[in-house]
């Protein structure tokens, strides 16, 4: 039982740090609020879907920006999509970077866009890895027979 308590404390601390650092925002909380007994993994399911979608979008963006003649409308459309989905799951930093990215698309600055894309990739990778750790913690708690604490 002490082990479960330890895990639960770790979970609470980790979750709080994600909010504190702006990795996630209140939309992430909303996803958890939609969970219930019949669908206790809803938040994880949505975020996993987001991961798949994001990979596709990042590939498209890389491809679009590697063109000789970059079509900034296309790039902007993909960034808009990415901004939307990151906003929906509460990936705050990723979303904020997408907002800056769109401004750069408007300016049609290839160099800056490429740099921004790099930043987005890094930020996204960080988000992904942290959320995966969080979900892993949740699994450990459940496997150890505990319940996942709710955070205000």
Partner 1 sequence: MLFRNKMELKPQVSDTPSQHQQQQKQEQREKHFHVLAVDDSETDRKILEKILSVSSCQVTCVDSGDKALEYLGLVDANHQDSASPSQSERSQEDGLKVNLIMTDYCMPGMTGYDLLKRVKGSSWKEVPVVIMSSENEPSRINKCLEGGAEDFLLKPVQLSDVKKLQPRLLKSFDQSCTNLPDIDPMTTDNSKSNNNATKRKALSPEPSERRPKMKELTVL
Q: Which residues contact 113 (CB under 8 A, 6 or more apart)?
A: 65, 70, 72, 75, 101, 104, 105
Among 4, 12, 19, 27, interactor with partner 1 by CB under 8 A: 27
Q: What DSSP state is assigned to residue 108?
A: T
Select 108 or 150, whichever has its Cβ closest to partner 1. 150
62 near partner 1, judged by CB under 8 A: no
> In the complex, what is the shortest distance from the CB of residue 86 to partner 1, in angstroms, rounded to a whole number?
9
Among 3, 5, 6, 49, interactor with partner 1 by CB under 8 A: 49
How far apart CA 91 and CA 94 sit, in angstroms, is 6
**Number of residues that make up the chain:** 152
93 near partner 1, judged by CB under 8 A: no
33 near partner 1, judged by CB under 8 A: yes
30 near partner 1, judged by CB under 8 A: yes
How far apart CA 3 and CA 101 sit, in angstroms, is 44
Binding mask 121-140 for partner 1 (x = CB under 8 A): --------------------
Binding mask 72-91 for partner 1 (x = CB under 8 A): -----x--xx-xxx-xxx--
Write out 23-54 in H/E/C secondary structure. CCCHHHHHHHHCCECCECCHHHHHHHHHHHHH
Among 36, 69, 111, 152, interactor with partner 1 by CB under 8 A: 36
What are the residues binding partner 1 (CB under 8 A)? 27, 30-31, 33-34, 36, 39, 42, 45-46, 49-50, 53, 77, 80-81, 83-85, 87-89
């Amino acid at each position: 039982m002490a082990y479960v308590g330890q895990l639960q404390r770790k979970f609470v601390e980790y979750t709080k740090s994600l909010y504190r650092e702006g990795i996630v925002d209140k939309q992430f909380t909303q996803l958890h609020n939609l969970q219930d007994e019949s669908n206790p993994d809803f938040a994880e399911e949505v975020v996993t879907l987001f991961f798949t979608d994001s990979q596709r979008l990042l590939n498209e963006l890389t491809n679009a920006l590697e063109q000789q003649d970059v079509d900034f409308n296309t790039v902007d459309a993909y960034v808009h999509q990415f901004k939307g989905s990151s906003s929906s799951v509460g990936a705050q930093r990723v979303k904020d970077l997408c907002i800056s990215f769109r401004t750069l698309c408007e300016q049609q600055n290839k160099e800056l866009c490429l740099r921004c894309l790099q930043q987005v990739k890094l930020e996204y990778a960080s988000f992904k890895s942290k959320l995966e750790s969080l979900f892993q913690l949740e699994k450990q708690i459940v496997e150890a027979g505990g319940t996942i604490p709710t955070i205000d």
